[in-house]
Amino acid sequence: MAQNSTVLICGEQEEGKITAVTKELLGVGKILAGGLNGKLSALIIGSDIRDSGEEAIVYGADNVYLVEDPLLSQYNPDSYTTAITQACQQIGPSVVLLGHTTMGRDVAGRVAFRLGCFPCMNCTNLDIDSKSLVQTRSVYGGNAIAVVVSRDSQLQLATIKPRAMTPLEPDSSRKGEIENIKVKIDDPAIRTKLVSTTKEEVEGIKLEDARVIVAGGGGIGDAEGFQLLQDFARILGGAVGTTTVPYDEGWVPTTSMVIGDSGKTVKPDLYIAIGIRGASQHITGCSESKLMVAINKDSDAGIFKVSDLGVVADYRKVLPPLIERCKALLAT
């Protein structure tokens, strides 16, 4: 594969609109392309996706490659691996970036193997040093940071942690070429078939978009306790998040509420951690919150080391009067 100084981001779209992580890929991709004196290209896969190509330009792409095929209308690891691999072989980028999403996690290793390079997964920062991609990621459950440079490889491939990078401001005056490229997808080689898709219904504000998050952990004790957290979040105009414990215990309905290493990364203005110990796997997902307040009955809980404000108390005693006080203040 002949390489050039292109940074290629593998964008994702939903119903013709590029996703938030795609905008973040374009934001960091632009910086890397500048460091390589190269260009930033976006690859978008699917069917009927021209609008998302135009949106990618607005968010920073110098040019866009579209791969359109009925076999690519919905995500499938086999067909998408083939499409991304063949597109990379035609485009010849020196850096390939994907989101650390369901798709990115699934295909990055497969694509890297086929292209003969090393995938660095879930990066929280990317930079260029002497034409090499410097990839930063958290390891050992968030207890250490690894900096990875693939010096032997011509091609470098990384996935980025959602919400770790900043998108560019949209600029509709940006111009760029949109080109369709052809790939050959062999139907029998598609070993997995998508049987059905169920769209997750989100009541109220999405966790990723919430400016206030009320998060409950193992200390909440039952589903009823989470009802109290829902009331608190509603008054503050926020969303409820959780650790893995309440999900495992069945106190919350969905894994999409989990924040941390194996859940979501959030960056709210206010993060209220209630009955949460402060395990590194949880903190890695909320450490970028502007203000963190913890309520925990154990004064030695690790959460107090990372919080701006702490209340040592049983949440069942402090939360009902706190909710009443907030209600009264917000009503005035």
Ligand X SMILES: Cc1cc2nc3c(=O)[nH]c(=O)nc-3n(C[C@H](O)[C@H](O)[C@H](O)COP(=O)(O)OP(=O)(O)OC[C@H]3O[C@@H](n4cnc5c(N)ncnc54)[C@H](O)[C@@H]3O)c2cc1C
Residue 77 exposure: Cα atoms within 13 Å on the Cβ side = 11
Length of the chain: 332
Residue 148 exposure: Cα atoms within 13 Å on the Cβ side = 22
Closest CB to ligand X among 32 and 279? Answer: 279
Enumerate binding residues for ligand X (CB under 6 A): 141, 217-219, 243-245, 258-263, 275-277, 279, 281-282, 285, 295-298, 301, 314-316
Q: Is the separation of the CB atoms in 173 and 33 below 8 Å?
A: no
Closest CB to ligand X among 88 and 306? Answer: 306
Closest CB to ligand X among 105 and 297? Answer: 297
Closest CB to ligand X among 32 and 295? Answer: 295
Cβ partners under 8 Å of residue 310, min gap 6: 293, 294, 295, 296, 303, 304
CB of 304 to ligand X, least distance (A): 10
Cβ partners under 8 Å of residue 30, min gap 6: 40, 60, 168
Q: Is the separation of the CB atoms in 243 and 218 below 8 Å?
A: yes
Task: Name the residue with the smallest CB distance to ligand X.
Answer: 217
- Tokens 């108390």 appear where? 313
Retrieve residue 191's tokens.
């070993």
- Among 149, 157, 59, CA closest to 111: 157
Residue 198 exposure: Cα atoms within 13 Å on the Cβ side = 3
Closest CB to ligand X among 314 and 324? Answer: 314
Closest CB to ligand X among 1 and 223? Answer: 223
Closest CB to ligand X among 145 and 189? Answer: 145
How many other CB atoms are found less than 10 A from the CB of residue 9?
Answer: 33
Amino acid identity, position 274: I
- Tokens 């030695």 appear where? 300
